[in-house]
């Protein structure tokens, strides 16, 4: 289930029972003075667990801005963001950071791995911050995730010595490390060739579906968008 802007919100304003994330009437301006741009205009969206939603549209239409707001990396000028029964649009930095750690996994166009760490250590970083598992459990889970993305044999290899496609697969494993309820992916295949793009998308969606995670991805790739459960075209800061 994925609802665009015209989907009515539940009576209490919070997420409906089967929603992983909901935003309502999100607005956002970027820039200062004459350069100030109205990027998002009262955008609303709700995404159910186990579904894959794609946000598509031309460059500058506000796709990535919406994704960063949903991922609590940025603050909206107005509107609501509901995750785990809490409106986090106005929450403090500590709380937003904790929710990111616990409930959200990110995959970006550029993998952003820490090159000084091995693939295994990169996958363990979110788990070490969460601190719920023992070191042995974290190592086992990271190894399992790397196996799942086909990099079991390269787990101990420094991130800098992996190919672009491999690094993006490590980034997917890292995004899944804390078993978040939401995966946000910003052009996850934008930096990969066609073969690797298909593989990374299949991997991401398969693993997320297996675990009942909601995926929201921003893409310019029409093939990838066509394979998603829901499609949300955007233009000039609103869903069309």
User: In the bound complex, what is the minimum distance in angstroms from residue 8's beta carbon to other proteins?
Assistant: 29
Phi, psi of 144 (to 5 degrees): -65, -45
Structural tokens at position 201: 């998308």
Give yes or no for residue 239 binding other proteins (CB under 8 A).
no
* Packed helices 164-176 and 119-130: angle between N→C axes, nearest 10 degrees: 20
Size of the site for other proteins (CB under 8 A): 31
Burial 123-144 (b: 16+ CB within 10 A, else e): bbbbbeeeeebeeeebbebbbe
Report the chain's terminal Cα–Cα distance, integer Å: 18
**Would you state the structure tokens that stand for residue 203, as one six-digit string?**
């991997």
Shortest distance, CB of residue 143 to other proteins, whole angstroms? 18
Q: Name the residue nearer to other proteins (CB basis): 112 or 230.
A: 112
Cα gap 28→205, rounded to integer Å: 29
Residue 187 in the binding site for other proteins (CB under 8 A): yes
Distance CA 92, CA 94 (A): 6
Q: Which of 66, 83, 100, 142 binds other proteins (CB under 8 A)?
A: 100
Q: Smallest distance from the beta carbon of 102 to other proteins, in angstroms?
A: 7
Q: Which is nearer to other proteins, 9 or 159 (CB)?
A: 159
- The 10 Å Cβ neighbour count of residue 87 is 17
196 binds other proteins (CB under 8 A): no
> Would you count residue 98 as binding other proteins (CB under 8 A)?
yes
Dist. CA 113–CA 103, nearest whole Å:
20
- Report the C-alpha gap between 134 and 170 in whole angstroms: 21
Segment contacting other proteins (CB under 8 A): 13-21, 63-71, 200-208, 230-238?
63-71
User: Please, which of residues 130-169 interact with other proteins by CB under 8 A?
Assistant: 130
Residue span 77-96 as binding mask against other proteins, x where in contact by CB under 8 A, dash where not: ----------------xx--
- Of positions 8, 37, 58, 116, contacts other proteins by CB under 8 A: 116
Asked if residue 108 binds other proteins (CB under 8 A), the reply is yes
Q: Which residues bind other proteins (CB under 8 A)?
A: 64-65, 68, 71, 73-74, 93-94, 97-98, 100-102, 106, 108-110, 112-114, 116-117, 125-126, 128-130, 174, 178, 186-187
């Amino acid at each position: 289930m994925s609802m665009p802007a015209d989907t009515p919100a539940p009576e209490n304003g919070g997420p409906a029972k089967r929603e992983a994330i909901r935003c309502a009437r999100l607005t956002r301006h970027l820039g200062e003075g004459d350069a100030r741009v109205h990027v998002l205009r009262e955008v609303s969206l709700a995404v159910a667990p186990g579904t894959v939603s794609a946000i598509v549209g031309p460059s500058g239409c506000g796709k990535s801005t919406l994704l960063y707001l949903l991922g609590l990396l940025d603050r909206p000028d107005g509107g609501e963001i509901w995750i785990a029964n809490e409106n986090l649009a106005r929450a403090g930095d500590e709380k937003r950071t904790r929710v990111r750690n616990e409930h959200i996994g990110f995959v970006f166009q550029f993998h952003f791995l820490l090159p000084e760490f091995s693939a295994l250590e990169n996958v363990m970083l979110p788990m070490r911050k969460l601190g719920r598992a023992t070191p042995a459990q974290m190592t086992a889970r990271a190894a399992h995730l790397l196996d799942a993305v086909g990099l079991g044999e390269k787990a101990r290899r420094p991130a800098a010595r992996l190919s672009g496609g491999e690094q993006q697969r490590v980034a997917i494993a890292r995004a899944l490390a804390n078993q978040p309820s939401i995966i946000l992916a910003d052009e996850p295949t934008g930096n990969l060739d066609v073969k690797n793009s298909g593989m990374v998308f299949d991997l991401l969606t398969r693993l997320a579906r297996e675990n009942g995670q909601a995926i929201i991805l921003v893409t310019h790739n029409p093939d990838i968008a066509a394979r998603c459960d829901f499609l949300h075209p955007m233009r000039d800061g609103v869903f069309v």
